[in-house]
Amino acid sequence: MTGSEPLLRARDVDVVLGGRHAVQGTRLTVRRGELLGLLGPNGAGKTTLLRAVLGLVPLAGGEVLVDGRAPARARHLVGYVPQRHEFAWDFPIDVTGAVLSGRTRAIGWLRRARAADRAAVDEALELVGLTGLRRRPVGELSGGQRQRVLVARALASDPRLLLLDEPFTGVDVPTQELLNDLFRRLAAEGRALLMTTHDLAAAARTCTRVALLNRTVVAEGGPELLADPELMLRAFGLDTAIGATA
């Protein structure tokens, strides 16, 4: 499965924000059946690269292709899990409504959800273990439950490529283990996953491959490269060992 043509291909990607290169000359591929961990210090361009894949920031150079298409033509193929603070948790909506919002493109604006949309939401809630909380207002959820809502919301659209921005930040150990298992299962089913994370131990445990980013890709390979102090020094600017938080 992982030997197939890349589902995501970034070629020499440059992104300029506020007059400076947030991402420069970056090359990256993610294949079906692969969970690629993207690691780097704050300000390294990890979230910016995800937004470039989504077509939310303009490229100053290079190209991004999802299944051979430009981001604007591939949005239906991509699910996105933003960092938790980016979602309006004070909005008066329950868990089902939040997850159903991930089907907006399929449903269409101002249209009623169909049976297929409801079924997709039910399946996504089951995957993240939230079926019993489907009527709970999102404002009453714990941090770990909120993270699972965001994952379910992305999965409700049945994406081929799943982008995860720091999914383990601020969640409890049971939630982290549930998400670890889920991400591995999704990759085994043939989806492509790209995950930014500061959790080196989680990346070593979960990812099939990792890339170290500091505006450009410093190194790429198996999780074992996270134990290389020279590469970690180049990526993070400090001597980092597995298990540390950067």
Of the chain, the percentage scoring pLDDT greater than 90 comes to 71
This model's pTM is above 0.75: yes
Map out the domains of the chain with their CATH numbers: 8-88+152-236 (3.40.50.300)
Which CA distances in Å does 86 have to 31, 124, 166, 224?
Answer: 27, 20, 12, 32
Which is nearest to 66 in space by CA: 56, 78, 57?
78
Question: Which pLDDT belongs to residue 242?
Answer: 42
Mean pLDDT, the chain, as a whole number? 90
Cα separation, 97 vs 114, in Å, equals: 14
Q: Look at residue 96 and tell me whether its pLDDT is greater than 60.
A: yes
Write out pLDDT tens, residues 145-161: 999 999 999 999 999 99
Q: Which two tokens stand for residue 210?
A: 């990792």
- The answer to whether residues 196 and 47 touch, using CB atoms and an 8 Å cutoff, is yes
CB–CB of 15/169 below 8 Å?
A: no
Classified as helix, coil or strand, 183 is helix
Answer yes or no: is pLDDT of 238 > 90.
no
The Cα 116–Cα 95 span in angstroms is: 18
* Sheet strands (E) in the chain: 8-17, 20-30, 35-39, 61-66, 78-81, 161-165, 192-196, 209-213, 217-221
